[in-house]
Structure formats: C-alpha cells, structure tokens
Amino acid sequence: MLEKENCCVGLNEPKLVVRKFLARPQHEGVGAIVRRSIGRFELRYFDPFLVLDEFSVTAPAGFPDHPHRGFETVTYMLQGAVTHEDFDGHKGTIGPGDVQWMTAGRGIVHSEMPAAQGTQKGLQLWINLSSKNKMIEPRYQEISSKDIGEATKDGIKVRVIAGEALGTKSPIYTRTPTMYLDFTLEPGAHLQQPIPESWNAFVYVLEGEGIFGRSKSSPVNAHHLLLLGPGDGLEAWNKSSKLLRFILVGGEPLCEPLVQFGPFVMNTQEEIDQTIDDFENYTNGFEKARHWRSESGLTLDF
C-alpha cells in the first residue's frame, strides 16, 4: 500500500532551468508600468504563451479602450482592484486574489482601469488559441478569490488557478490546455509538482528567494522568469528564511505559424490584414465597437 502511494510522489525527470530573464519595468498603456518577461524582444513567444506582464497601475493611469483577437488574457490580481468594461456591456471589478480568464476569440474591445486608491498590482498572461479556436465567440470565466481552490501540505500552499495540484482542481476550462499554479513555500519546504511531459512551462518569482530545478543551483529572486526544459515536473526548494512565492505555468504548445500585430494574433498575414480590416470597418465580431466608448473615453493606440 505504502509503496503504491510512494510511487506517485517524486518525478522521473525533473525539468531544469534553461533560461533566466529579469523583467525590468517599462511603460505600457497610458501611464502604466509593466515588467514584461514573455513578449519582449529577446523572448517573443514561448508557445503557447504570448505575453507575461507583472503590472502596476495608479489612477489616472490604465489600459483604456483597446481590442484583442485570436488569444486569451488571464488577469490575476495581487493588490488593489481593476475594473474592466467591454463593448458588449460586460463589466466588473476584480480585487486581490481574483482571476479573470477572458477568451477574446474573434474579438473583444474593452478597457482595464484602476478601481481603487493606491497602486493596483497583478499579472496578465496572454495565451494563444489554436487556429480552430481563434474565431470563437468571446467568453469570460471569472473566479473570485474565495472560490479559488487552495491546498496546503508540508509547508507548501498552492492556489489552483488552472489545472490541478495537491489533489485540488480548478473549475476553469482552458481552450489551450494550461496549468496555472500560485505557490507559497515556507522556509525549508521542498516541492515536487508534476507537469505533462510534452508541455512548455515556466516559473515567475513574485516574492522571496527560491532554488529551482537542481538543489545546488543558485537562488532566484523576484521579477525573474525561468524557462524550464524537458522533463515531467518541477522541483523547487525554499532554503531561505523568508516566504517564497512564485507562479508555475505550463501549456501544451500549439506548434502553429504565428503572425502578430499588437493585440491581434493570427496564423497568417492574410488573417492579420483581414483583422485590421474588420476592426476598422466594425465587421466579423467588431460590430459593437462602432458606437461604444468606455467611461474613460480614451483609446489606447497600439
């Protein structure tokens, strides 16, 4: 019995860190600051992930009216609150620990603006959609912090935003198969988290200092992105005296051609030309953009 339980713990081939990036602050939107790791010049794309921004916005800064097509945006709030408002009348505010999983599909035009005093902080991840899903109807999945599954074991706490960890499953449906886990490790904790073999996966450190991949590797601190190589899971250690917090995100690569023009991500140049045409002429999913402006009344250039 014991053997059977033990055989499921432990990894055959832990993933190693193959590249490391420090995400430095840069200006985005209107007066907002983002630390962009995926999506910057040196790392255009990590299939299926297009962008990872750690954002910081203080009113009157924000991300006023702008479009998306061909992918999903996942906004995970760490501090403060953001109000989103789209051209179809969908509106809401997400606060600390809340997640908005937005499938833009054929088209969304929306604004994302601060909803509280002080600085709003969070993560925004852009996940590509496969060619067969790029033009689907837009869809939102919103989970408030209290409904996000949490599990705790041996000094490890995980919040399961997508996928499964420590026996806890997320209700989020991922069109592009994805896992998104928010880990906090107490000093001395050691994590072994399975990841499907064929998936691409990365770690982004939010707080503290962690050891990833190999127990003898050097510690990594906040605002660093770590790309993981082949293997069946992640091993991580907190050998420091403070809490370690990081996200682990993995996804099945689409292995499709990609042509991106700002917030439009398609497979071919023809599809991008068509998308610009659709956006300018309010067609094929952008109909409602013709008469819509958010409360901010501003438009984001891209």
Query: Which residues make up each annotated binding site?
Result: 66, 68, 110, 112
Q: With binding defined as CB under 6 A, does residue 124 bind ligand FJE?
A: yes
Instruction: Specify the residue, 48 or 213, whose C-beta has the smaller distance to ligand FJE.
Output: 48
Q: How many residues bind ligand FJE (CB under 6 A)?
A: 15
SS3 133: helix
Q: Is 34 in the site for ligand FJE (CB under 6 A)?
A: yes
Q: Is 151 exposed, middle or buried (0-12, 13-18, 19+ CB in 10 A)?
A: middle
103 is an interface residue for ligand FJE by CB under 6 A = no
Contact 211, 237 (CB under 8 A): yes
Sole window of 26-34, 129-137, 158-166, 271-279 interacting with ligand FJE (rule: CB under 6 A):
26-34
Report the C-alpha gap between 283 and 265 in whole angstroms. 17
- Of the residues 37, 56, 75, 176, which one makes contact with ligand FJE according to CB under 6 A: 75
- What is the closest distance, in whole angstroms, from the C-beta atom of residue 286 to ligand FJE in the complex? 14
Q: Which is nearer to ligand FJE, 28 or 72 (CB)?
A: 28
Torsion angle in degrees (nearest 10) through CA of 40, 159, 196, 10: 120
Applying CB under 6 A, the span of 27-35, 90-98, 101-109, 168-176 interacting with ligand FJE comes to 27-35
d(CA 5, CA 122): 37
43 vs 21: CA distance, rounded Å? 9
Residues 6 or more apart in contact with residue 157 via CB below 8 angstroms: 150, 151, 183, 184, 185
- Sign, CA dihedral 145-151-152-158, equals negative
Q: Nearer to ligand FJE by C-beta: 65 or 235?
A: 65
Nearer to ligand FJE, 32 or 234 (CB): 32
Q: Which is nearer to ligand FJE, 15 or 35 (CB)?
A: 35
Quick check: 80 binds ligand FJE (CB under 6 A)? no
Angle at alpha carbon of residue 199, lines to 189 and 74, rounded to 5°: 80
Query: Considering beta carbons, is residue 112 or 235 the nearer one to ligand FJE?
Result: 112
* Choice from 21, 49, 63, 101 touching ligand FJE (CB under 6 A): 63
SS (H, E, C) 19-46: EEEECCEEEECECEEEEECCCECCECCE
Check binding of 66 to ligand FJE (CB under 6 A). yes
Which parts of this chain interact with ligand FJE (CB under 6 A)? Answer: 28-29, 34, 53, 55, 63, 66, 75, 82, 112, 124, 262-263, 300, 302
